[in-house]
Amino acid sequence: MTTFEPSATLKRLPKQFFSHLRAKATKLIEQGYDVIDLGIGNPDLPTPKFIIEELKVAADDSKNDQYGPYRGYDYLRKAVADYYLREYGVYVDPDTEVAVLHGSKAGIVEISQCLLNEGDTVLLPNPSYPDYLSGIALANAKVASLPLLASNNFLPEYDLVDQSVAAEAKLLFLNYPNNPTAAIATPEFFSDTVAFAQKNQICVAHDAAYGALVFDGKKPLSFLQTPGAKDVGVEFFTLSKSHNMAGWRIGFAVGNPSVIESLNVMQDHTSVSLYGGIQKAAAKALSSDQSSVKELVSIYESRRDRFLFELKDTGLEIHKPQGSFYVWIKVPKGFTSETFFDVLLNEAHVIVAPGNGFGSLGEGYVRIGLSQSDDRILEAAKRIARLAPFNVLRTEKLVSH
């Protein structure tokens, strides 16, 4: 059998950091252990019934058996525009400022290829969602790290960006509510972002995948609410998290018309059209009263509170999540992200995501996802709590080895 060499482009793609860790977990599962997986970001709850019913009706419409328009149906782009006006008070033109995407990840990967040339610089938060690197690698661009530190509530500090780096940068990724830190942005931070982008002619790509999931009575915030934001960037939104439609692969980008056009041109040549039934269901989801989203936020907030309550006496340093469905936990003294992962896996049979998989500044943390049933999350928290104090456990392990 002839083996064909992959292209240099494919070779540039980042390796899957979590694959070897999953292999460790698989061994335990195959041995019959009850392993609770809190390392994933895959919603566990079903898509609301009214959305599914809309898909069923659309499936009976023979029009949806045909190819749809490359850039999405008018009714979906209008539903997106209406959603932004209703939820955020932001007007977007459904014809020139909305791009329908096969999930927001598609657009997040494509925007680097749309705007960057070989050797261009991207400002990338550290830590951050690993798949930003995929598009950057495909564009053969360079990364300049933007530290996200607990001391600044996991918001980048633009004053610390070297001016020569800022002048070279073409694209800036942001993501709030944040994965993995569960921090949220403020209006003041977004204003600083617009000023920084305008000064340095940088396009802002704000990933609002968790935009609807904000806790403690706070109102969700869109980057596009900031004066001047549409001049300098776009916002990506997905129904995966807000409406439990992860498997449906439906999202959109809104904002700067030139960037939206570039995304549409890219999709004209790659993913082309999305099934009309899914577009109909997405429009229904966006046009609803969003009561299902409010219920979802309440569920995640309750899970967060119960999880944190079980861990309150463990000595773990935990930044109370303000949004998303993650908990960002500082590992105990003497552990690394991966050694703490090993302890939780082998001793508590709980899978987490080591922080260093999200960037060098994620080292020293683990991310826990609250996308399991309430009883499984509570059981996982109790198992972790039973391991405290962790420094004793570490000492025992060192002695036994």
The 8-class DSSP code of residue 251 comes to E
In this structure, are 174 and 233 located in the same domain? Answer: yes
In this structure, are 98 and 174 located in the same domain? Answer: yes
In this structure, are 267 and 324 located in the same domain? Answer: no
In this structure, are 298 and 174 located in the same domain? Answer: no
pLDDT of residue 272: 80
pLDDT of residue 392: 60
CATH of the domain at 32: 3.90.1150.10
In this structure, are 260 and 310 located in the same domain? Answer: no
For the stretch 58-101, pLDDT in tens is 999 999 999 999 899 999 999 999 999 999 999 999 999 999 99
Q: Which among 288, 306, 325 is the end of a domain?
A: 288
Tell me what the mean pLDDT of segment 275-290 comes to.
97
Q: Which residues pair with 235 in a beta bridge?
A: 206, 254
Tell me what the mean pLDDT of segment 162-169 comes to.
96
56 part of a folded domain: yes
For the stretch 4-55, pLDDT in tens is 999 999 999 988 777 777 788 888 888 989 999 999 888 999 999 999 999 9
Pinpoint the alpha helices (H) of 311-336: none
In this structure, are 283 and 297 located in the same domain? Answer: no
pTM of full prediction above 0.75: yes
Report the alpha-carbon distance of residue 197 to residue 202 in Å, rounded: 5
278 part of a folded domain: yes
Closest CA to 80 of 260, 307, 204, 214: 260
Report the alpha-carbon distance of residue 68 to residue 224 in Å, rounded: 29
pLDDT of residue 20: 73
How many domains is the chain built from? Answer: 2
pLDDT of residue 319: 87
CA angle 327, 329, 330 (to 5 degrees): 160
pLDDT of residue 273: 84
Range of the domain at 15: 11-40+292-395
In this structure, are 21 and 118 located in the same domain? Answer: no
321 part of a folded domain: yes
Instruction: Give the tokens for residue 312.
Output: 């309150």
User: Which has the minimum average pLDDT: 23-32, 174-183, 242-251?
Assistant: 23-32
For the stretch 291-345, pLDDT in tens is 999 999 999 999 999 999 999 999 999 989 999 999 999 999 999 999 999 999 9
In this structure, are 29 and 90 located in the same domain? Answer: no
Q: Which among 225, 257, 288 is the end of a domain?
A: 288
Tell me what the mean pLDDT of segment 132-147 comes to.
96
Phi, psi of 77 (to 5 degrees): -60, -35
The 8-class DSSP code of residue 245 comes to -
pLDDT of residue 107: 94
